[in-house]
Amino acid sequence: MGRGTFRSQNKVGETFSFQTDSSSGTTFDPIVTFLPGISDRASWDLGEGGGYVADSSLSYTYPDTGTTKTVTLRTNKLSNLRNLFLDSDNLVGHLDMSGWDNLGNKFIINANPELTGITHTTSTQNWFQYYVQSCNLTGNHDMSMFPGLGGYFYIQGNPLLTGITHTASTEVFSQYYANSCGLTGNHDMSMLPGLGGIFYIQSNTNLSSITHTISTEVFTQYIAYSCGLTGNHDMSMLPGLGGFFWIYSNSALTGITHTASTEVFSDYRANSCGLTGNHDMSMLPGLGGFFRIRDNSGLTGITHTASTETFSFYQANNCGLTGNHDMSMLPGLGGVFYIHSNTNLTSITHTASTEVFSFYSANSCGLTGNHDMSMLPGLGGVFYIYSNPLLTSITHTASTEVFTQYQANSCNLGISHDVSMLTGLGGSFHIFDNTLLRTITFPLTSQTFKNRTNGYENYAFSLNNNDLNYCSFLPLSGATLDVNYAQGANIDLSDNGMLVSEVNHYLVDFDNLSTNLNPSGWSGVTLDISGSNAAPDSSSGGFDGIAALSSLTGGTNNWTITTS
Q: Letter for the amino acid at 386?
A: Y
Rounded CA-CA distance 391/547 in Å is: 40
Query: How big, in percent rounded to 5, are the helix, strand and coil portions of the chain?
Result: 5, 35, 55
Residues 426-448: tens digit of each pLDDT: 999 999 999 999 999 999 999 99
Nearest to 284 by CA among 301, 270, 263: 263
Q: What is the pTM of this model?
A: 0.94
3-class SS of residue 65: coil
First to last CA, the chain: 95
Q: CA 350 to CA 168: how far, in whole Å?
A: 47
Give the span between the Cα atoms of 91 and 19, in whole angstroms: 6
The whole-angstrom separation of Cα 240 and Cα 224 is: 17
Report the pLDDT value the prediction gives residue 453, as an integer from 0 to 100.
Answer: 80
Burial class (CB in 10 A: 0-12, 13-18, 19+), 119: exposed
C-alpha to C-alpha distance for 324 and 22, rounded to whole angstroms: 64
| Residue spans of beta strands (DSSP E) within 328-474 | 335-338, 344-349, 357-361, 368-372, 379-384, 390-395, 403-407, 416-418, 428-430, 439-441, 448-449, 461-462
Q: What is the pLDDT of residues 92-120, one digit of tens each?
A: 999 999 999 999 999 999 999 999 999 99
Residue 6 is predicted with a pLDDT of 39
CA distance 555 to 551: 8
- Exposure string for 222-231, b = 16+ CB within 10 A, e = fewer: bbbbbbbbbe
CA–CA dist 58, 55 (Å, integer): 7
Contact in structure between 150 and 167 (CB atoms under 8 Å):
no
- Judge contact between 174 and 221, C-beta under 8 A: no
Within 76-202, strands assigned E span 81-85, 91-96, 105-108, 114-119, 127-131, 139-142, 151-154, 161-165, 173-177, 184-188, 195-200
Q: Which residues of the chain have pLDDT under 70?
A: 1-12
Contact yes or no for 98/122 (Cβ under 8 A): no
